[in-house]
A and B are shown apart, each in its own frame.
Chain A
């Protein structure tokens, strides 16, 4: 059957077809669609499997490691920065090995398009001494997922499948196997403390075993060759597909020879050295970091990132590669043209998003006299309301608030600090720093923006949900209970839409943190209006409109409330009917009362 699958869908198909029956992960662009596809397959074909989101990547990594100890073919999915969170178990899983087989799918985001870093997960595979497969198309993503499962099972070593935004979010016609997901799963844990609970003294033995495995894989790892010219190009991943397109466009079949690694680590150095020996012009082109390049023994005639020929930052797009080909003389003439960017629209919280109301109230109470520590999620866009000063990594809003509070109170004078974090991010990494704040007497305000979903990455469920991904019963974990349980005394919950009452609560919280030695927590709830249910249940008026005669065009509403449906046109503000959801939240933002509602 031929299907038109995205790279992420293809990965899920490949894993499940190869017998993977335990998948965990945490959502993050561009990896988020892998697990839902597996969940869909399980539902549709009634596969006996455990496929479900976890609370964060570290937990997910540990869960699947245990599953592989129990002889289950397993996989974990996250984005590249998620691998950072999972790093601790990841390193040790490599050392101990994975009896049932384990594929680590890490999605990189060169550009970056929606991440903090452009890091290359292949480097971390190198670091952990585990093999990594680097597909160049969705079709290869499908094939390599299956290869990864088999390789992992054979050597009892975790295998990384590295994808990038361009692979994960591209689609291709793919011939999939017949869907008779046959099952060879047999749960079984062979206890062996020398392996699964080794003391440091014996760890070097496990390390030795890992070294032996990776050497065997290195010997087997061969490259593929394409075309037949003098100029040698070494590549892997999506860059290979771009190179093929350029070769075709400029008829370079007799000009270049391309060496492609499906597995960019571990490389068989000697074979590669033999191959490149006779060439005086060698170019290494690989997306992200110089992983293959660093494994080339003699780099005398090699150009790449290490000698600065290939840019060391930014996405390696087809246009960039073309330019490199021109610079080193592979292409003689370039079709002169400048690249035009599409009309830019500043990203903004959705019209009617409860987060906006929350930020508006926060700004009203704390003005420009506080430090605002933000976090990762839609609410990063609190930037637009000047209610976010820092965004770092998952959960850092809380620990940054701690750091700022201690710095100012120790070395200067007390400074109000307001941290904002989403519900899912709070569960992911916000609880531990809150425990530290309680214990070590830091005082700041933590606002938990609770929209009951992981909105940014496609509305996955959070631990607060009463149901799981299959709509079966789950145990809901209440944020309020958690916060009170660790010892926070000032805890208030309100609907973010009730701006007046929220403002009152925030004023009290402000007083509290200035004289207390504990953090205050305010939970502002409002369902994400981007979901069907959220939108349906949202409060709405028949119509929200700007009274043209009263609007003086001061733009105070746009500046302070910044709903994208408020637009400035012909010296007054008007409401864009095609995007406004008539929530009426903007009414308070007009000092003249020109924004009105019709009930």
Chain B
């Protein structure tokens, strides 16, 4: 599976990629990623390419990604150039953010939420694979709840 994550510096795109990697490793799949750091520190775009269960390099040419998780609306149009079809885009909407803040009190739960949204679309992992990884987290109950909120 070829996956791209787009976020801005400090938004947790990298931790999201690490969660996904853990899920893949637990399932005995190979996983590779590459972070295009750019000027992420200065609030710029963070672009992460991931290949799960395939490939020698983590690089994904444009229009070849199966999925693209977009954590910042601003990059939606750019994401269209990365995926095979627009169906593959998973966007964290502004209303989602408001909802997460209201329900969970911290925007960082957006990661588990968007993970849920992604799990609904893909077909190589089972939901329990993600729950297993999330239960090792600091606030497992809230993270798992946010995950299922995303799956909905």
Contact = CB atoms under 8 A, between A and B. Distances in A.
A7 to B, nearest CB: 10
Given A339-B62, A343-B74, A347-B44, A166 B56 contact: no
B99 interface: no
Contacts of B36: 169
A342 B21 CA distance: 25
B57 A343 contact: no
Contacts of A238: 57
Interface in A412-427: none
A170 interface: yes
Interface in A220-244: 238, 240-242, 244
Interface in A1-53: 2, 4, 29
A172 B44 contact: no
10 contacts: A138-B32, A166-B57, A171-B18, A172-B32, A172-B33, A318-B61, A335-B63, A340-B62, A343-B75, A348-B42
A137 interface: yes
A113 interface: yes
CB-based closest 3 A-B pairs: A244-B56, A241-B57, A170-B34
A343 to B, nearest CB: 6
A536 interface: no
Contacts of B47: 342
Interface stretch (B22-30, B118-126, B144-152): B22-30
B56 A317 contact: no
Contacts of B38: 113
A242 B57 CA distance: 6
Nearest to B51: A245
Interface in A329-384: 335, 337, 339-340, 342-343, 345, 347-350
B62 A173 contact: no
A171 B42 contact: no
Looking at chain B, what size class is its interface with the partner chain?
A: 35 or more
Contacts of B37: 29, 113-114, 169
Contacts of B81: 340
A170 B33 contact: yes
Contacts of B132: none
B58 to A, nearest CB: 5
B35 A170 contact: yes
A504 interface: no
Most buried by A among B17, B18, B43: B43
A114 B39 CA distance: 9
Contact of A4 (B31, B56, B61): B31
Contacts of A137: 32, 56-57
Contacts of B24: 173
Given A170-B33, A342-B78, A579 B43 contact: yes
Contacts of B16: none
A15 B62 CA distance: 36
Interface in B91-132: none
Contact of A245 (B39, B42, B59): B59
Interface string B58-81: 110111000000000011011001
Given A244-B57, A340-B62, A564-B43, A170 B32 contact: yes
A340 B78 contact: yes
A136 B57 CA distance: 8
Contact of B21 (A114, A171, A337): A171
B19 to A, nearest CB: 10
Given A170-B33, A244-B56, A340-B81, A2 B25 contact: yes
Interface string A164-194: 0010011111000000000000000000000
B140 interface: no
Nearest to A576: B43
A530 interface: yes
Contacts of B63: 335, 337
A170 B43 contact: no
A500 interface: no
Interface string A307-338: 00000000001110010000000000001010
A347 B42 contact: yes
A348 B38 CA distance: 12
